[in-house]
Amino acid sequence: MRRPPRAIAIARSGTRLPLAAAGAGLLTGAALLLAAGPAASQDDEQITETHAYTNFGEPKYPADFAHLDYVNPDAPKGGEISIWSQGTFDSFNNYARDGVSAALPSIYYESVLVGTADDPYAAYCYLCTTMEYPESRDWVIFNLRDDVAFWDGTLMDAEDVEFSFNLFIEQGITEYRNAVEGQIESVEVLGPHRIKFTFTPEAPRRDVVTFAGGTPVFSKDWFEETGTRLDESQDAPFLGSSAWQLEGFDYGRYIELTRDPDHWGADHPLNVGQNNFDTIRVEYFADSSAALEGFKAGEYTFRIENSSKDWATAYNFPAVEAGHVVLEEIPDGTIASGQAYVFNLDRSPWQDPRVREAVGLMFNFEWSNEALFYGLYERVTGFWQNGGDLEATGTPTPAEVEILQPLVDEGLLDASILTDEVVMPPVNDPASNRPARSALRQAASLLDEAGWVAGEDGMRRNAEGDLLSLEILAYSPAFDRINNPFIENLRQIGVDASLDRVDYAQYVERTRSGDYDLVNSSPGQGFEPGTGLRQWFASSTADDSSRNLMRLRDPAIDRLIEVVISARDYDEMANATRALDRALRAYRFWVPQWFKSTHTVAYYDMYRHPENMPPYDLGYLSFWWYDAEAAEELRAAGVLR
């Protein structure tokens, strides 16, 4: 079976991503590779001691590597990079349910293991020197470094690792605790720099090592002395150990970070050629239009352009024409984001798959791509798009049928999933936003079957006289030009569709509490799906979730998730993932939108990046650097203040 491209999910901020993803306390559980190393015997079981963990093949980098292949080890240090963020913030803690976190919330913290941008399944010792584990993966011991220092100069030890892990279990958000519950039997401090995690028999063995090593490590003493809680909004970051510290901020206006010149890990092989700027500044704007004007005026200097319209039409201002601003398209080899509208399945109209399908038929991607996106996008089709063997295609393979058949036999899945082509989004005419007549007829028929009948006014009501109303919740004015044509099409088939655009703080609160009909989400997945699937799709995380915005509760999906998680080798994982992808798409809880396989970036011509850019991370905050001479030329030309 063909292996997937070498890739790893990397934080869009461009920072080196720890295996514990920052968002709302999520641990990805993306268990990575099994490396060979010195072996010993303990209870007749082979023990591996290694600098890197992998499940598939060998890690790319040996124990004595000097630096990552894609960095410039001689990159100069200095200068400032400034970016933008939308809306406002009132907290620096994204692990809590309350508050709207400031940008770059995870940049202050480090974890025992980390991934890289060019090794798809490997986890490397960062805060440790080596790790030890048996063939059974019943436990792992991390031999920690003795030189890791928090910002206040205190040294990190095994008690800090134990404390941090327990803190997430005790005070982490509910969806995280529900996803990882019952995986750890015990955590033992074996010495000042030696800690052992013992796993329960039920814990998925592909995930356990990276799960244990992926948690951000905080200072136990600092938390106890300050009385700080993980589950409360905070007006400053926790005491961290990374290269970046908060220098200053103004709520809703900016945050500014500075690089610690005395960072303990500056010469670590995983850090050589990284963390090159002296300052990172984030400027806040009310919306993307204001932010674009701010970029043109030089209020910030690096911009990832997410609007196809702006990329095609707005970058003709004098600084671009004079060569002072660089426009660049850089390949992006990650799995597609899965960007889509998703239904709130807690609301009764959307619990009927016929109604969901009818609504989905009314989004005309082909017209949107031609008329609105300048042909720059491709249609999202699945949750592992561009994921090689992980993406469901055509009819099920025999291996997929074997996985799906028991669920069909139990009545949890329709038998058609065993023989039908995988669900794909409809194809419409790009010449007009109005869907094809066949799509309109099909949507009308589906709504009739579901009991939503058109009245004399053309609007659809059920037997109780309730109007079929659908409200799209949004916060960005830039999406109005996409939402409004969709709404027009929905009204053509009798759906009382409307747009409710709110400020970002309201948007965050309403998505968390489930106060919406249709909302944007990006549930695309990684190259080694594991425990993190529960946070996206499991019934146990459907309430008050930052990931499972569909509020999906389905026993068949729950069962398939566990099959993926329990897979022991690549082929088992790929077969189970395709089966899950197929079932998720058949559920039609989303209206797929679009993606592109390039990063479109604009920046003032004083930043440089390696020639051998890794295909799976843009890395603009980590391995790009500042050209002081070019910056001075821009100032001399009056381009920069």
Neighbours of 3 (CB within 10 A): 12
Say yes or no: 125 and 258 in one domain. Answer: no
Cα 323 to Cα 80, 320, 492, 641, distances in angstroms = 20, 5, 48, 17
Say yes or no: 584 and 626 in one domain. Answer: no
On the question of pLDDT at 122 being above 80, the answer is yes
- Whether 6 maps to a domain, the answer reads no
On the question of pLDDT at 474 being above 50, the answer is yes
Q: Which two tokens stand for residue 96?
A: 């809590």
pLDDT at 25: 29
Q: Which of 198, 226, 254 delimits the end of a domain? A: 226
Say yes or no: 329 and 411 in one domain. Answer: no
Distance CA 185, CA 556 (A): 28
Q: Which two tokens stand for residue 346?
A: 């807690």
- Whether 235 maps to a domain, the answer reads no
Convert the pLDDT of each residue in 412-442 to its tens digit. 999 999 999 999 999 988 999 988 889 999 9
Mean pLDDT of 46-62: 95
Q: Which residues contact 475 (CB under 8 A, 6 or more apart)?
A: 86, 87, 501, 502, 503, 504, 506, 507
Q: Which two tokens stand for residue 368?
A: 């949107």
Neighbours of 300 (CB within 10 A): 22
Q: Which two tokens stand for residue 138?
A: 């019943």
Cβ proximity of 471 and 518 under 8 Å: yes
The rounded mean pLDDT for the chain is 91
Mean pLDDT of 361-376: 95
The total number of structural domains in the chain stands at 3
Cβ proximity of 162 and 187 under 8 Å: yes
Cβ proximity of 188 and 82 under 8 Å: no
Phi, psi of 257 (to 5 degrees): -115, 150
Say yes or no: 515 and 550 in one domain. Answer: yes
Mean pLDDT of 327-354: 96
Distance CA 283, CA 303 (A): 11
Q: What is the 3-state secondary structure (H, E, C) of 420-460?
A: CCCCCCCCCCCCCCCCCHHHHHHHHHHHHHCCCEECCCCCE
How large is the C-alpha radius of gyration of the chain? 25
Cβ proximity of 8 and 526 under 8 Å: yes
- Whether 1 maps to a domain, the answer reads no
Say yes or no: 275 and 368 in one domain. Answer: no
CA-closest candidate to residue 389, choices 569, 200, 143: 569
Q: Which two tokens stand for residue 116?
A: 């890289």
On the question of pLDDT at 41 being above 70, the answer is no
pLDDT over 70 for what percent of the chain? 93
The pairing of strands 594-595 and 378-379 is antiparallel
- Whether 67 maps to a domain, the answer reads yes
Distance CA 59, CA 226 (A): 40
- Whether 463 maps to a domain, the answer reads yes
The one-character DSSP state at 475 is: -
Q: Which two tokens stand for residue 107?
A: 């940049």
For residue 274, the SS3 value is coil
Q: Which two tokens stand for residue 99?
A: 């508050």
Q: Which two tokens stand for residue 17?
A: 């991503």
Cβ proximity of 328 and 598 under 8 Å: no
Longest dimension (CA), the chain: 80
Cβ proximity of 283 and 103 under 8 Å: no
- Whether 368 maps to a domain, the answer reads yes
On the question of pLDDT at 180 being above 70, the answer is yes
Length of the chain: 641
Distance CA 195, CA 162 (A): 8
- Whether 501 maps to a domain, the answer reads yes
Distance CA 556, CA 147 (A): 48
Mean pLDDT of 373-389: 94
Distance CA 438, CA 166 (A): 56
CATH number for the domain harbouring residue 487: 3.10.105.10
Mean pLDDT of 198-221: 95
On the question of pLDDT at 234 being above 60, the answer is yes
Q: Which two tokens stand for residue 386?
A: 């561009």
**For the residues of 227-261, what is the DSSP string, one character each?**
T--TTS--SSPPP--SSEEEEEEETTTEEEEEE-T
Torsion of the alpha carbons at 43, 45, 48 and 54, rounded to the nearest 10: -140
Distance CA 482, CA 371 (A): 10
Mean pLDDT of 463-471: 97
Distance CA 500, CA 472 (A): 6
Cβ proximity of 404 and 579 under 8 Å: yes
Convert the pLDDT of each residue in 518-565 to its tens digit. 999 999 899 999 999 999 999 999 987 789 999 999 999 999 999 999
Convert the pLDDT of each residue in 591-622 to its tens digit. 999 999 999 999 999 999 999 999 889 999 99
Distance CA 317, CA 312 (A): 12
Say yes or no: 78 and 156 in one domain. Answer: yes
Say yes or no: 216 and 150 in one domain. Answer: yes
Distance CA 435, CA 544 (A): 35
Phi, psi of 165 (to 5 degrees): -60, -45
Per-residue confidence band for 302, with pLDDT thresholds at 50, 70 and 90: very high
On the question of pLDDT at 297 being above 50, the answer is yes
Q: Which of 193, 226, 259 delimits the end of a domain? A: 226
Say yes or no: 381 and 475 in one domain. Answer: yes
The pairing of strands 496-501 and 518-521 is unpaired
Distance CA 142, CA 114 (A): 13
Say yes or no: 85 and 103 in one domain. Answer: yes
Say yes or no: 56 and 153 in one domain. Answer: yes
pLDDT at 9: 29
For residue 494, the SS3 value is coil
Per-residue confidence band for 508, with pLDDT thresholds at 50, 70 and 90: confident
Cβ proximity of 14 and 599 under 8 Å: no
Distance CA 396, CA 246 (A): 51
pLDDT at 505: 87
On the question of pLDDT at 35 being above 70, the answer is no
Domain with 287, as residue range(s), is 244-334+597-636
The one-character DSSP state at 19 is: S
Say yes or no: 552 and 423 in one domain. Answer: yes
CATH number for the domain harbouring residue 87: 3.40.190.10
For residue 524, the SS3 value is coil
Say yes or no: 280 and 356 in one domain. Answer: no
Neighbours of 177 (CB within 10 A): 16
Per-residue confidence band for 504, with pLDDT thresholds at 50, 70 and 90: confident
Distance CA 215, CA 370 (A): 44
Neighbours of 40 (CB within 10 A): 11
For residue 399, the SS3 value is helix
Per-residue confidence band for 478, with pLDDT thresholds at 50, 70 and 90: confident
- Whether 5 maps to a domain, the answer reads no
On the question of pLDDT at 62 being above 60, the answer is yes
pTM, rounded to two decimals = 0.87
CA-closest candidate to residue 562, choices 16, 182, 294: 182
Per-residue confidence band for 43, with pLDDT thresholds at 50, 70 and 90: low
